[in-house]
Structure 1
Amino acid sequence: LATYLQDQHGFTVRVLDEDVMAGARRRLDFHGRRLLLSETIAPASRGFHIAVVLASLEQAELLDRLCDQIALPSSEGRRLLRIGLANYFAGAVQMPYAAFLKAAESSRYHLGVLQRRFEVSYEQVCHRLTTLQRPGARGLPFFMIRVDAAGNVSKRFGGGIMPFARAGGGCPKWNLYDALRMPERILTQSFELPDGTRMLSLARGQSTQGPTGQPPTLHAIALGCDWDNAGKVAHADGMSDTIPAAIGLACRLCDREDCAQRAFPPLNRKLTMDPHQLRASPYAFGES
């Protein structure tokens, strides 16, 4: 990608120390014909940043046309959409659809194999797997979610598979939150939602080094699919007899009665508090 950028557009890629970059992670220097990348960017992500720049240089008209098709209420929203499309382009350049789908199926969706084969990060592999739904060439339908140590959701994809909560904290019994305590290790879990839907969840915490003097940024990423597809995923081997964990989307949307980790009562149920009895949950409730 660096060679292509230089041959086709005359930009040389330089990796500079963070003091020279003055806090920037990527900067395109048109005057000096250089793409400057911060040394804080992991080697596995440098190709992604080069491809993002190529999207702006070679696909500007297409990006503008796609943005024009959606009537966004603000110029800021349009810029965010354009950045998102450029990022999608970069992921597709690094992990071409047909080749990536073939590798995913032949490896039984082994995340480590895909990382090594395409020289990308764990997060990039997870994100790409959520996009393999081209008619006539579909991969497994995956969802992905990314949270920080405070439970804030910064990415969610595949909402048609996993009905994410739009507000409030998530369920602490989901291995997504266990992964924050064990970075760089894939945790597997079978869980069941209150409606009986059973899912496979592969969660991993990741630590990203920030500027010198600041603590690393910690996120947890969960990739998952319907349990019916778990047999096609290498990471689920040996889990056929696993008893699924009973989780909910969020306390406000979950009506499991005897949950010791419940923080709030459900919105659709009436509280029936008994001063003479205390169960595992701090809230007792009846029908809606």
Structure 2
Amino acid sequence: MTEIIRSLNDLSGRYDALFCDLWGCLHNGVTPFPAAVAALQAFRAQGGKVILVTNAPRPKSSIIRQLDAMGLPRDTWDDIASSGDATQAAMLSGAAGTKVHHIGAPKDEPFFTDFEDDLSHLLATADITRVPLDQATGVICTGLADDLTETPDDYRGKLLMAKAKGLKMLCANPDIIVDSGEKRLYCAGALAKAYEDMGGEALYYGKPHPPIYDLARRRLGMDDARILCVGDGILTDVQGGVGEGLDTLFVTGGIAAQEFGTDFHNPNKGLLLKWLDGHQLSATYAIGYLR
């Protein structure tokens, strides 16, 4: 049975570390949520560690620049594990072959240029070349080229060509949609789903899939830590945490806020439990907004 809590402090002393989602939980793509920032600062002040675990398709260094520009204080977190990092590791290991075609936006270019130190052993031996689709041995999908105007339908021809060539797609962001301010945008996961629907093979490295949790644990650097997964995605944050055998805190005021009544700060318990049953998932805890 999911327990609804009022604040993260209600769980004081129960956990050593948080694997905390970003978009919809800590910020809205434009600005940080002050109450969430304060909650993570307080958790760290009490000795806890915070790993920001995000399905962003860019490497950690790029995420840090984005968060700094947004005004998120550095004392909110200890380290970051991104889906981009985990996908880079797969690419450097040859999961898409040596000639890759990129589907994504210019803002995702750091995926091919910025690598963290813990990937240096792979980078030293990798021989990856970016090529047009007709020359590719695999596809790296970080998202849509222009997520403000495009939809997955705009990529049908390209995806059909990749499928005809039998190419694997490495999906650097399993999210289907995300809210940026007041606008809902498609993510790489929507293209990967469309590719699978037409018979193509997509491989995923972000939540809820194991690679990003393996990376987060390495960057946490704590043995036998009591970890709580925090986020607003039922099929990413909650399902991923459950799959890893970890407790979860579902932030109901995020992407699914409309499902739990009109008071987004205080989800209706009956609606919440019915909705969770419909997804055949149960979070350990739920909260309106991280605070």
Taking structure 2 as the reference length, the TM-score comes to 0.24
Q: Greater share of helix residues, 1 or 2?
A: 2
